Structure 1
Amino acid sequence: MYLQKVSKYHSDLKIEEHGLMVSKELNFVRGSPDGIVTCRCHSSMSRLLEIKCPYSARNMTVEEAVTEKKIKYLEKKDNILHLKKNSQDGYYAQVQGLLGITGLTLANLVVWTSKDCKIITVKFDKEFYQKKLIPACESFFLTQIAPALLISQEASDNYSNDDLTQNVVPSDKMSEDIPNNDLQVVVENSVQNESEVLVQIYKCYQCGKILPEDGIKADNSNASVGCDCKNCSCDVWMCWPCARYTEEWIEENIDWYCPHCTRECDLVY
């Protein structure tokens, strides 16, 4: 339908699929555009193609869906539909990210329903891409992706396949095989200036999962507690389920000690 609408204004209009594309500047910033549109009459005017088919608005026109707030990522200004910059759907960031990765300056956002097909032109927002999107991608890579990859590699080096399937470190390996809990990861060549970045990541002493500083779940399954031992500098952290820690401990101000300290430092609860 997009080709039918647009091809009459261009010569030899084509949609090329490229699969996963990687930023030339930051190799961990990647994306898969729905297509890149080219034509013979505008050789220097290739456009990014991104297609949305909102199921909740399938039986409405696009403008009806925007009015009824079935489509929240579009807004109408001066009788023209625009892609919202601050939409919670993340589509503005998606389109701008793909424009930055591909080096293109224009995108055609196609919104299709069974009753309608609208084409919204989106221009490349260089300031948004460089000052907001890229820093967010760097932060996500350094705090989430790199630690997960490196801890996964570390686990595969240290433990058998059975241990990894269980995702639990055997108790007889806890004190010897697990490296210091405050894993320090140097991630090289991952930021724009290619300088080294030091990231401190905490993981559970027993099960090995990454312990977040925020985004704690309501059931506290990913909450963490650190060892209160004053006799050593173990700096051990565990998730609440592994530590058998509860909110009552906080309310009663009870110190928590890791398995190593209860054994080696002769501490008891």
Structure 2
Amino acid sequence: MKGVQPARVADINFYGDKPKEKVVANNAPARRADPQPVSSDGFEDFLVSLLAASNPVMPVGLSLFGSTSSNFAPKKAVVPSQKVPPGLRSLYRGVEGFKSLDKVYSAATQTMKLDHKDVERIGNVTKLQSKSLVWYEQRAGRITSSVSHSVLRTSTTKPSQYLIKSICCDRPSKLKTTAIMWGNEHEQVARQQDAEGAVSSAHSDLKVNNCGLLIKREQPFLAASPDALLACSCHGMGALEIKCPFKFCEMSVEQMCKEKDSCLDQNLELKESPVLHPNATSMCVTGASHFLVWLPTAGHVCSVFPHQEYALTSGPASTAFREGHIRPELLFRKVELGTEQSEHGNKQGHCSCGSADSVPMLGCDDKKCTHQWFHWACVGITKEPRSKTWYCDKCKSSNTKRKRQRRQ
């Protein structure tokens, strides 16, 4: 073909002018209409419609406009209608208290006194128990059902410093073992499935209510937090304690009763063991008591009546422990602040887990033990040892090595 000049592909025009104009026109951006100004009435209507469509969760941007800002007015703080008296930790006097001990002790005795309305208010405000900060505040400094057994076991002259600190402490417990967590998770299930059914069959007009901290007005240093409070027209008011033993979770109640460390005997009655102490302390405050043992297979409820021997021994012992150790600690906080020394010149040892909890504890009889006191769950026991002496695994191993060295 004549007249064709060579050129690069990029320089060759394969389209005519009309097709090229069509392609350019299709690729051109669409022309947008100019925005029309919105009237004030129209804008207000838009805000109102946006507010109605976003109910109940409202965009915070609407708080910037006058027509909708009134919906974001801060709510007034709800003042509790029931004011409770200050907790026993408010008795703290520090170094100043040493100047006039008689006056300090006299003032503390008057402060601890509660009337019927105070006890009722504290019980109502603390119904959430461990989920309530007031429950921890009012519980501190009082001998509760969970520590009553430890109070009776400890030495009156040289008591466990850890026990004193745990009673007077108002902080939540950090002890979370598998057994404790399993029991807490199934407590509500046990109450709904068995307590309200099995217990109600033996009572008239029974009501199972949530229970807060119950303080004995005549002895305000005694308190209990039962798992529930029972009220019926035939027996009046009583406490309910629920136990969900993780160790026997795959057994039936009948099989559990055959185990040595079961809290129930062969007749399905509650054994006279440390398990009884929480119920006994609850009865000191509320009167009658019921004990529910719950397993996934079934549950069993047994009635617990006042234990005369326990009442005779626990009353004077608790009073002596409170007067000699709890009240001084509330006033001066020697143990908490580290000014109180143990018999070895060091601070009293705690459990190996390092948790400050008031569950039953067992003391190692080796005077050189670094911990001295252990939680039952941490050393793998469920009941009090029968032997008069008990040694932790570390001290037991050390004693064995010493005996071998002597023989050699």
Q: TM-score, normalised by structure 1?
A: 0.51
Matched, 1:84 2:233: no
Matched, 1:119 2:310: no
- Structure with more relative contact order (C-alpha pairs < 8 Å, separation 6 or more): 2
Which residue pairs with 2:226 in the alignment?
33
Deviates more, 1:10-19 or 1:46-55: 10-19
Which residue pairs with 1:74 in the alignment?
264
Give the one of 133, 144, 149 matched to 2:314.
133
CA contact (8 A) 2:199 2:301 kept: no
Which residue pairs with 1:99 in the alignment?
283
1:20: Cα distance to partner? Answer: 1.0
Which residue pairs with 1:183 in the alignment?
none
Where do residues 142-221 of structure 1 align in structure 2 (5 Å cutoff)? Answer: 142-152=323-333, 167=338, 203=341, 218-219=367-368
Q: Which has the larger radius of gyration?
A: 2
Q: 1:107 to 1:137 in 2, by over 3 A?
A: same
**Aligned-partner SS, 2:269:** strand
Within 2, Cα distance between the matches of 1:132 and 1:34?
25
1:140: Cα distance to partner? Answer: 2.7
Which residue pairs with 1:49 in the alignment?
240
- Count of residues in Structure 1 that have an aligned counterpart in Structure 2: 166
**Aligned-partner SS, 1:46:** strand
Q: Which runs of 5+ in 2 are unaligned?
A: 1-192, 350-362, 373-408
- What's the CA shift string for 1:65-93, capped at 9, x where partnerless? 1202341x2213xxx322222x2xx2212
Within 1, Cα distance between the matches of 2:312 and 2:202?
36
For 1:50, the aligned partner's letter is E
CA RMSD of aligned residues (A): 3.4
Within 2, Cα distance between the matches of 1:208 and 1:146?
22
- What's the CA shift string for 1:235-257, capped at 9, x where partnerless? xxxxxxxxxxxxxxxxxxxxxxx
For 2:277, the aligned partner's letter is A
1:9: Cα distance to partner? Answer: 5.0
Within 1, Cα distance between the matches of 2:335 and 2:285?
33
Q: TM-score, normalised by structure 2?
A: 0.35
CA contact (8 A) 1:203 1:209 kept: yes
CA contact (8 A) 1:16 1:37 kept: yes
CA contact (8 A) 1:84 1:92 kept: yes
For 1:142, the aligned partner's letter is E
Which residue pairs with 1:265 in the alignment?
none
Percent identity among equivalent residues?
27
Give the one of 65, 68, 78 matched to 2:256.
65
Q: 1:203 to 1:8 in 2, by over 3 A?
A: closer
CA contact (8 A) 1:36 1:46 kept: yes
Within 2, Cα distance between the matches of 1:13 and 1:155?
45
- What's the CA shift string for 1:187-233, capped at 9, x where partnerless? xxxxxxxxxxxxxxx747xx99579xx9776535599xxxxxxxxxx
Within 2, Cα distance between the matches of 1:12 and 1:74?
28
Matched, 1:17 2:203: no
Within 1, Cα distance between the matches of 2:252 and 2:371?
43
1:10: Cα distance to partner? Answer: 4.5
1:155: Cα distance to partner? Answer: 9.2
**Aligned-partner SS, 1:74:** coil
- Bigger strand fraction: 1
**Aligned-partner SS, 2:304:** strand
